[in-house]
A and B are shown apart, each in its own frame.
Chain A
Amino acid sequence: MQANTRSIYMLPYYIWIVLFVIAPVVLVGYYSFFDVDGNLTLQNYRTFFTPTYLQMTISSFWYAFLVTLFSLLVAYPAAYLLTRTKHRQLWILLIILPTWINLLLKTYAFIGIFGTYGPINALLGTLGFGEQQLLFNAPSFVFVSVYIFIPFMILPIYNALEEMNPTLVSAARDLGASGWVTFRRVILPLTMAGVKSGCMAVFIPSLSLFMITRLIAGNKVITLGTAIEQHFLVTQDWGMGSTVAVVLIIAMAVIMILSGGFGKEVRHD
């Protein structure tokens, strides 16, 4: 009796789970079996397994991989060096601050920076390379995405480095390990959890960043996200859009399972 009256308070939260977590996934799955005219069909999946869509999927994953890799390469040393600074709190705050600036504004800035008359082109001009078309291609897309994601990669790695016991590093050094060996055998394994969550925080969103592809890459890069947006808002083919979404959801779930599940960050007891 008591337990019952108490659970009523919990109702709004469970309603939220049903309505906004479970139902949307089910609906996307359901819609993926309908064509534009509302007929039940498997055609969308057949369409998906044609070269056009498969190629798009592969390139989407390839770009996401590149973005993740470059973010990691920039972020790891930065995170490491940040743990050595004085006033660490302040520096970390300064890393976080840009993440609170609207994504679109930062992307918009690059339209100016990479533009025909922008500073990069001016620099290339003075160096004698002449004017280049920097916007509307794949490298500019990768660069801007990496720029956007760097903080999201730095923070988990920084947290992992902070949690590491520094005496382990000293011990390794005392036992005669070189700097590189210490890094590879001690520091990297101990911070792998941070690297993993950083990679997840970058990889999954980069599969779906349709606004950057639209603003920066012209239509040179089409990600799964771009395809979903296109089908839902431009061609109104919700069925095909849902099919692409289902593929993205499955890919995401596989990545999650491979990297050891989610929801782990929250302590249990």
Chain B
Amino acid sequence: MTNKNGWGNLYLVFVFALLYAPILYLMYYSFNSAGNMHEFEGFTWEWYGEVFQDTRLIIIVINTLVIALLSSTIATMIGIIGALAIDRIRRRRLKDTVLSLNNVLIVSPDVIIGASFLILFTMIGIKLGFASVLISHIAFSIPITVLMILPRLQEMSPSLIDAARDLGASRRDVLSKVILPFIKPGIFAGFFMAFTYSLDDFAVTFFVTGNGYSTLSVEIYSRARQGVALSINALSTLIFLFTVMLVVGYYMINRRATNKPRREEPIAVGGPR
């Protein structure tokens, strides 16, 4: 590795170029007045205008955000309960079993989650649409919130709780004044991951959405199947900027929450959705 700076850096530049080229390509042509993705004719805001005038699209964006906010909030609450539940289990075997069950939805392919939820909703009699999409987003976000919260909980020294109890704190106080503040970074991380999971999900939503209700991913899929439309490019540019803002925000919160130089945060990425 004598020449590592030369070839190595070149290789890294290649990988980064590969990763970003398609995204930049989309953004570049979102300003193309020619209306296609191969000949740049002139600069225009036309496609952005089209996005903002498309009421159907705006409703879908709102739907997507509402689902993401609601599902990640509820999933985080159940995730806190789940993490507490798993942390409380003393028997190793049982703990492993519950953890494995927790992780089933993380490792399962999306089509299987989607298909099996479709069967479930049809059997229980839940109408496909807002409710089914919301419930499935909550369901597949719960395990990741558990996984983000649990390590914090395990890091917590039990003497902290003993001390609180000795000083006369009720169980409710222990939870709200000791445990929850301590695991707050995990809760935030879990909420954030659930939020991005929900925003990104396509396959599961595609299965349980039925007619008439749509989220952004499903809409992009059906539009992309019809071919190139530059309003999708404009939309993706907007989404990209929004994502960058989210990521920056997340890292700011994370940095503030973990001031002391802990072991590097395990990098959180979900499966591709």
A112, B98: Cβ atoms under 8 Å?
Answer: no
Q: How far is A174 from B8 in the complex, measured between Cα atoms in Å?
A: 23
Shortest distance from the beta carbon of A237 to any chain B beta carbon, whole Å: 12
Specify the chain B residue showing the minimal Cβ separation from A201: B271
B12, A21: Cβ atoms under 8 Å?
Answer: no
A16 neighbours in B (Cβ, 8 Å): 78, 82, 139, 142
Q: How far is A150 from B21 in the complex, measured between Cα atoms in Å?
A: 14
Q: Is B18 an interface residue (CB 8 A)?
A: yes
Known interface pairs A78-B15, A232-B207. Does A268 touch B217 (Cβ–Cβ under 8 Å)? no
B154 neighbours in A (Cβ, 8 Å): 267-269
Known interface pairs A24-B120, A105-B236, A266-B99. Does A208 touch B105 (Cβ–Cβ under 8 Å)? no
A102, B217: Cβ atoms under 8 Å?
Answer: yes
Known interface pairs A24-B119, A84-B8, A232-B207. Does A252 touch B108 (Cβ–Cβ under 8 Å)? yes
Specify the chain B residue showing the minimal Cβ separation from A255: B107
B115, A232: Cβ atoms under 8 Å?
Answer: yes
Shortest distance from the beta carbon of A161 to any chain B beta carbon, whole Å: 12
Report which of B85, B151, B244, B266 forms a contact with A97, defined as CB distance below 8 A: B244
Specify the chain B residue showing the minimal Cβ separation from A3: B88
A111, B272: Cβ atoms under 8 Å?
Answer: no
Which of A38-46, A51-59, A88-96, A126-134 lines the interface with chain B?
Answer: A88-96
Shortest distance from the beta carbon of B57 to any chain A beta carbon, whole Å: 14
Q: Is B165 an interface residue (CB 8 A)?
A: no
A150, B117: Cβ atoms under 8 Å?
Answer: no
Shortest distance from the beta carbon of A223 to any chain B beta carbon, whole Å: 9
Q: Is A207 an interface residue (CB 8 A)?
A: yes
Q: In which size bucket is the chain B interface?
A: 35 or more
Q: Is A17 an interface residue (CB 8 A)?
A: yes
A105, B81: Cβ atoms under 8 Å?
Answer: no
B26, A252: Cβ atoms under 8 Å?
Answer: no
- Binary per-residue interface labels of chain B (142-180) against chain A in the complex, 1 for a CB within 8 Å, 0 otherwise: 100001001100100000000000000001000000000
A101, B243: Cβ atoms under 8 Å?
Answer: yes
Main secondary structure of the interface of A (DSSP, over half): helix
Q: Is B36 an interface residue (CB 8 A)?
A: yes
B239, A102: Cβ atoms under 8 Å?
Answer: yes
Instruction: Tally A residues with Cβ within 8 Å of B.
Output: 97
A-B residue pair count with CB separations less than 8 angstroms: 256
Q: How far is A109 from B29 in the complex, measured between Cα atoms in Å?
A: 10
Shortest distance from the beta carbon of B19 to any chain A beta carbon, whole Å: 5
Shortest distance from the beta carbon of A125 to any chain B beta carbon, whole Å: 12
Q: Is B221 an interface residue (CB 8 A)?
A: yes
A159, B266: Cβ atoms under 8 Å?
Answer: yes
Residue among B88, B207, B272 with the most chain A CB within 10 A? B272
Specify the chain B residue showing the minimal Cβ separation from A212: B272
Shortest distance from the beta carbon of B132 to any chain A beta carbon, whole Å: 12
Report which of A106, A151, A207, A224 forms a contact with B22, defined as CB distance below 8 A: A106
B54 neighbours in A (Cβ, 8 Å): none
> 15 new A-B pairs (CB below 8 Å) besides A16-B139, A214-B225?
A17-B98, A21-B101, A81-B8, A93-B247, A96-B267, A98-B19, A100-B200, A103-B273, A109-B22, A117-B36, A228-B112, A252-B109, A262-B107, A263-B103, A267-B154
Query: Hey, which bits of chain A sit against chain B, CB under 8 A?
Result: 6, 9-10, 12-14, 16-17, 19-25, 27-28, 31, 74, 77-78, 81-82, 84-85, 91-113, 115, 117-119, 122, 147-152, 155, 158-159, 162, 179, 200-201, 204-205, 207-211, 214-215, 224-225, 228-229, 232-233, 238, 241-242, 245, 248-249, 252, 256, 261-263, 265-269
